[in-house]
């Protein structure tokens, strides 16, 4: 008798381990792939966006399901906080009541949601699950939400750091040029003070005094001459 798995009389025997057959079946079934941000940082009172995208080998139909579940950092059971099937169905109970909105578009493979006015107690793990029958098996990506207070402290981001590295040298060059120009201006000003010349008005002050004195002397001399002339006049 032939062994199970034989192809027939004279055929080769094909035997595969059960694990390999199971793995092959799972790979064929995983025609749905989901991607989500591993960590999302948000600030208290500011909207937090939880991104989730998917790819399905089957056409998108009204049977497509999207479920978002949540588990707090403090522990506990997972709870469904959002459901989508043709239309959004936000949760009507729990901590996220009236605080979750649908921002996705299943036609574009987008199953993202937004959390309004996040709180410190919202810190936890979110899981995005998508099913598009017959594609129902997929990976399970997790998103960790970290909510903090913005505060008054200045937080450096990559863009801010890059801007500082680019503009700081330029600012230093401008400051050095201004300092150098200021020193030159002061030096020129000091030279001007050392080589100070009196104005025409100031120069004319002393000669005017001298001239006046000279004129007085000349007038006196003329008067004396006139007197002398009168005395010698025979008339």
| CA–CA distance, 223 with 216 (Å, rounded to integer) | 11
| CA–CA distance, 18 with 224 (Å, rounded to integer) | 151
Q: Residue 208 region, left (φ>0) first, then alpha (ψ -120 to 50), else beta?
A: alpha
| CA–CA distance, 221 with 212 (Å, rounded to integer) | 14
The pTM of the whole model exceeds 0.75: no
The string of pLDDT tens digits covering residues 195-219 is 555 545 544 444 444 444 555 556 5
Q: Give the per-residue pLDDT at 5.
A: 44
Q: Give the per-residue pLDDT at 176.
A: 87
Of 112 and 222, the structure prediction assigns the larger pLDDT to 112
Residues 97 and 91: beta-carbon distance below 8 Å: yes
Q: How does residue 111 score in pLDDT terms, banded at 50, 70 and 90?
A: very high
SS3 39: strand
| CA–CA distance, 174 with 20 (Å, rounded to integer) | 69
Percent above pLDDT 70 for the chain:
65
Of 118 and 227, the structure prediction assigns the larger pLDDT to 118
Averaged over 125-140, what is the pLDDT? 93
| CA–CA distance, 160 with 99 (Å, rounded to integer) | 31
Highest averaged pLDDT of the listed ranges 4-8, 74-78, 125-129: 125-129
DSSP lists the bridge partners of residue 90 as: 82
Domains, the chain, in order of start with CATH, read 28-148 (2.60.40.10)
């Amino acid at each position: 008798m032939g062994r199970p798995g034989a192809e027939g009389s004279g055929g080769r025997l094909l035997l595969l381990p059960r694990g390999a057959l199971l793995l092959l079946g799972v790979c064929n079934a995983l025609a749905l792939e989901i991607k989500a941000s591993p960590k999302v940082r948000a600030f208290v009172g500011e909207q937090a966006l939880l991104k989730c995208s998917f790819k399905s080998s089957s056409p998108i139909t009204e049977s497509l399901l999207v479920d978002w579940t949540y588990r707090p950092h403090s522990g506990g059971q997972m709870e469904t906080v959002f459901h989508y099937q043709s239309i959004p169905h936000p949760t009507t109970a729990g901590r996220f009541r009236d605080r979750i909105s649908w921002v996705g578009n299943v036609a574009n493979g987008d199953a993202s949601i937004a959390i309004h006015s996040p709180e410190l107690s919202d810190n936890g793990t979110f899981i995005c699950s998508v099913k598009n029958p017959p594609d129902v098996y997929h990976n399970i990506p997790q998103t960790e939400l970290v909510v903090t207070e913005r505060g008054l402290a200045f937080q450096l981001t990559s863009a801010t750091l890059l801007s500082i590295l680019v503009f700081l040298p330029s600012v230093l060059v401008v400051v050095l040029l201004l300092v150098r120009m200021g020193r030159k201006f002061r030096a020129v000003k000091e030279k001007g003070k050392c080589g100070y010349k009196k104005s025409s008005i100031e120069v004319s002050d002393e000669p005017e005094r001298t001239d006046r004195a000279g004129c007085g002397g000349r007038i006196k001399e003329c008067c004396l001459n006139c007197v002398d002339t009168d005395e010698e006049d025979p008339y």
